């Protein structure tokens, strides 16, 4: 059930998360996240994630009513003109649609692994600080049937607003394990029989087509600037590169992930 409130002032208590969009760390600490845009908000409303509030331009209420009415919890829907909403959040919005959701309970590694079936295909990120790139990686994971994403302690949260937006809401369907020690997590994966494969451009030992993705495995991606850190690279079972001409250093992590994960799907007969 949802309630409708027409807003004309910024001091409405329930609007606090929208007034503080640029303070993302505070949102994570509060256990909330912001969804932005039509499709992302629609996917949030269709997901099992708890919804805390929604903000809409007044003329779009009827359009969103079916998704709003399908929810079982009670939450406010704030209505206002788009220009007012842009003043509230502090930037121009293309669609003027926002929502606040509640972060899911953190998974243990055992719970994370239990949600998948063999042959498992996971992805992990090390040092990926761009929220946009984290979101893009999440979207690639969804597109190429990755069963879960492991986020290292040096990477941005996949629940930051820009990450959720770039994922196009696919974050709501992807199990996430937020590791506090990625090296240790990779060692635990190895103990569980899951091979860890570093997507590492600076290797001459094995090219992508030579790697085996048919058994349980986790592909580890690093940042564009520094790649995978030395301790994480050492913790991986092998390093694999995409063949490229010598004048190209590396690909954007989103492009590299798409290439690696496509190859994994091809080898598994899913391409």
- The mean pLDDT of 138-145, rounded to a whole number, is 98
The region of weakest confidence among 143-147, 167-171, 183-187, 223-227 is 223-227
Task: Pinpoint the residues of the chain covered by CATH 3.30.1330.30.
Answer: 2-102
Distance CA 49, CA 33 (A): 11
Question: Looking at the chain, which residues constitute the CATH 3.40.1280.10 domain(s)?
Answer: 109-267
Tokens read off for 136 = 């893009």
Q: What is the pLDDT of residue 101?
A: 97
Is the per-residue pLDDT at 177 higher than 90?
yes
The CA distance from 93 to 174, in Å, is: 26
Neighbours of 157 (CB within 10 A): 18
CATH of domain 2-102: 3.30.1330.30
- Would you place residue 248 in the very low, low, confident or very high pLDDT band (cuts 50, 70, 90)? confident
For the 109-267 domain, the top CATH level (class) is alpha beta
Q: Give the mean pLDDT of 117-142.
A: 97
**Average pLDDT of the segment spanning 140-148:** 98
Give the least confident one: 59-63, 194-198, 201-205. Answer: 201-205
Task: Kindly tell me if the per-residue pLDDT of 224 is higher than 80.
Answer: no
Range scoring the smallest mean pLDDT among 30-39, 70-79, 87-96, 179-188: 87-96
pLDDT tens, residue by residue, 54-104 = 999 888 999 999 999 999 999 999 998 777 777 766 666 656 799 999 999
- pLDDT for position 241: 92
Question: What pLDDT score was predicted for residue 12?
Answer: 79
- Asked if residue 9 has pLDDT above 60, the reply is yes
Q: Is the pLDDT confidence value at 203 over 70? A: no
Q: Which residue has the tokens 């984290």?
A: 134
Residue of 26 and 69 predicted with greater confidence: 69
3-state secondary structure the chain: CEEEEECCCCCCHHHHHHHCCCCHHHHHHHCEEEEECHHHHHHHHCCCCCEEEEEEEHHHHHHHHHHHHCCCCCEEEEEECHHHHHHHHCCCCCCCCEEEEECCCCCCHHHHHHCCCCCCEEEEECCCCCHHHHHHHHHHHHHCCCCEEEECCCCCCCCCHHHHHHCCCHHHHCCEEECCCHHHHHHHHHHCCCEEEEECCCCCCCEHHHCCCCCCEEEEECECCCECCHHHHHHCCEEEECCCCCCCCCCCHHHHHHHHHHHHHHHCCCC
| Range of weakest confidence among 13-17, 22-26, 82-86, 224-228 | 82-86
């Amino acid at each position: 059930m949802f309630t409708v409130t027409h807003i004309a002032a910024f001091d409405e208590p329930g609007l606090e998360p929208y007034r503080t969009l640029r303070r993302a760390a505070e949102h994570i600490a509060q256990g909330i996240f912001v969804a932005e845009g039509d499709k992302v908000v629609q996917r949030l409303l269709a997901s099992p994630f708890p919804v805390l509030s929604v903000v809409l331009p007044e003329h779009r209420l009827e359009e969103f009513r079916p998704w709003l009415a399908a929810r079982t919890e009670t939450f406010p829907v704030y209505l206002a003109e788009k220009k007012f909403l842009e003043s509230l959040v502090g930037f121009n919005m293309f669609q003027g649609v926002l929502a606040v959701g509640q972060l899911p309970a953190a998974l243990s590694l055992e719970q994370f692994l239990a949600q998948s079936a063999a042959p498992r295909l996971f992805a992990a990120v090390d040092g990926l600080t761009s929220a946009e790139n984290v979101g893009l990686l999440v979207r690639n994971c969804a597109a190429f049937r990755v069963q879960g994403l492991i986020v290292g302690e040096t990477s941005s949260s996949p629940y930051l607003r820009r990450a959720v937006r770039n994922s196009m809401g696919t974050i709501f369907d992807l199990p996430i394990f937020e590791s506090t020690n990625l090296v240790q997590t990779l060692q635990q994966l190895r103990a569980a029989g899951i091979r860890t494969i570093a997507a590492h451009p600076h290797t001459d030992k094995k090219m992508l087509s030579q790697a085996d993705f048919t058994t349980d495995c986790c592909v580890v991606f690093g940042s564009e600037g520094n790649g995978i850190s030395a301790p994480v690279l050492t913790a991986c079972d092998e390093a694999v590169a995409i063949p490229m001409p010598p004048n190209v250093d590396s690909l954007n992590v989103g492009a590299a992930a798409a290439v690696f994960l496509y190859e994994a799907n091809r080898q598994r007969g899913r391409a």
